[in-house]
Amino acid sequence: MKNPTLSDVAHSAGVSYATADRVINKRGNVAEKSTRKVRDAMVALGYVRNVAAANLSRKRIYRLAFLLPNGPNAFYDRIRSHLHGLSAHLAKDQISATAIGVDAFAVGGLKSCLSAIADQGFDGVAVVGLQSTELEAPIERLVEQGVHIIGLVSDLPKHLRSAYIGIDNVAAGRTAARLVGVSHGGQSGRIHILAGSTEAHDHADRLAGFYEVIRRDFPNLAVNDPVMTCDDPTVVKAEVEQVVDGSCGITALYNIGAGNGGLIDAMAQLNEAHRPFCVTHELMPDTCHALQHGHIDLVIDQGPDVEVNRALSVLKALIDGRSPLPAPDLVPTIYVRDNLPADPTLAMMKDTSHD
């Protein structure tokens, strides 16, 4: 038996083709009684809307926005670069993805940006989330306009978004703690923690996971209160230089966020045999080079290109009124100097400022 058509649905429901089309494509202005008849006919006939054909006939463009923190952050620069590199491919699928800069860790800035993009015709928005009730009103306004919201990398409160694309940051913090703990071999030590801001959901979650494991399984290790750096490499460098001068007894450093350029500059001045064990996030050219040269010990990478690709897929599905395809959890990769990728854009690039 051939697949039922829109004409079959209209005939079965006893309505015009135009009415059935308005119901199926959610164009409104149809009486509730007629809407119910069309939907009942769709179920009875097993009609499945051909989203691709409908969009093609309407010459629809999916307009997506990615709200990304500004500032000297190689991770978000990589996301912007990846989006730019995909632009020609996305255009063939009638997708436009725009990266919009937002002041890093600024609730007010993110709130203003969310308000500013209302009424601009976006179908879906990926947001690097912060933790604040101030974001509720502008996000709810976008949702009321039919805009689909997802959290990217750093989550939003669950009731504000349709999906979250990113790693389990609590697990990432636990992983860092386990590796820092094991590195001490049962000896006592003191850990210094740097974070961008605990208003960022990912940083707060990593910190919570780190504390959980250290307090439970490594009571021999003391943990300093985290220092907030706003991911500024200059601030990171000054803080690291201050605590690794030998008088603070620091045996390990964990950088929860970014600003790795400053971290590496400071660590590169130390003899590898006497520097603290060092863990940070995101495999970029500078952290790859630092691993190769023994300036840091371990990088936890979340694969931003994969996250962007999945965000695009999920947003398109949500806009089409479909459930996103099932996908495995995003699991971060742990890199040491011995398992670096052969990708020349990472492993072969060098930042000579660290030589």
Domains by residue range for the chain, with CATH: 6-49 (1.10.260.40), 60-166+304-324 (3.40.50.2300), 169-301+335-354 (3.40.50.2300)
Closest CA relative to residue 258, chosen from 289, 290, 280, 243: 280
For residue 266, count other CB atoms closer than 10 A to its CB: 23
The kind and range of the H/E element at 281 are: strand 277-281
Query: What value does the CA radius of gyration of the chain take, rounded to a whole number of Å?
Result: 25
Q: How far is CA 349 from the centre of its chain?
A: 25
Look at residue 51 in the predicted model and tell me its pLDDT: 58
- Whether this model's pTM surpasses 0.85: no
Look at residue 351 in the predicted model and tell me its pLDDT: 40
Strands 189-195 and 227-228 come out as parallel
Two structure tokens written together for 44 = 């009875």
Look at residue 354 in the predicted model and tell me its pLDDT: 38
Look at residue 123 in the predicted model and tell me its pLDDT: 92
Angle 6-13/17-24 helices, nearest 10 degrees? Answer: 110
Look at residue 26 in the predicted model and tell me its pLDDT: 67
> Alpha helix locations (H) across 218-331?
233-243, 260-267, 285-292, 304-319
Closest CA relative to residue 335, chosen from 321, 324, 346, 322: 346
Q: Are 123 and 98 in contact (CB under 8 A)?
A: no
Q: Are 284 and 260 in contact (CB under 8 A)?
A: yes
The count of C-alpha atoms lying within 13 angstroms of the C-alpha of 355, restricted to the half-sphere facing its C-beta, is 4
Two structure tokens written together for 165 = 């694309």
Buried b (16+ CB within 10 A) or exposed e, 279-292: bbbbbbbbbbbbbe
- Distance of alpha carbon 193 from alpha carbon 256, whole angstroms: 7
Low-confidence ranges of the chain (pLDDT < 70): 1-2, 25-28, 50-60, 246-247, 343-355
Q: Are 181 and 214 in contact (CB under 8 A)?
A: yes
Please report the beta strands in 145-231, taking only residues with DSSP state E, as ranges in sequence order: 148-152, 163-165, 189-195, 221-223, 227-228
Two structure tokens written together for 336 = 């040491």
Look at residue 347 in the predicted model and tell me its pLDDT: 44
Look at residue 39 in the predicted model and tell me its pLDDT: 87
